Amino acid sequence: MDLVQLTEEIVKSLVKNPDAVSVKEFPTEEEDVILIQVVVASDDIGRVIGKSGKCANAIRTLVQASSALKGKQYVKIDIDKF
């Protein structure tokens, strides 16, 4: 499972409207950095970020650990709503 799929599965399991979840990977100017953008419905943004950002940090930790196991790059995750 690649990092985008992993992120998408985690986020979809947290939200009420999984059909509105969009996860995309973007290149960055930094050499060993991957940017993953997560867009969710405005009703679900609180569920994904969590109290004091705990859910968002947990998602970042899981995806970064998966990347490290594969010997890959550093991952940044940007969470936004529409």
Q: CA gyration radius for the chain?
A: 12
22-27 vs 74-81, strand pairing mode: unpaired
> Strand (E) positions, 1-82?
22-27, 33-40, 74-81
Q: What tens digit of pLDDT does each residue of 21-73 get?
A: 999 999 888 888 889 999 999 999 999 999 999 999 999 999 999 998 887 78
Full set of structural domains in the chain with CATH = 3-81 (3.30.300.20)
State the DSSP code for 18: G
Q: For residue 47, give the 3-state DSSP assignment.
A: helix
The 10 Å Cβ neighbour count of residue 22 is 13
Q: What tens digit of pLDDT does each residue of 41-51 get?
A: 999 999 999 99
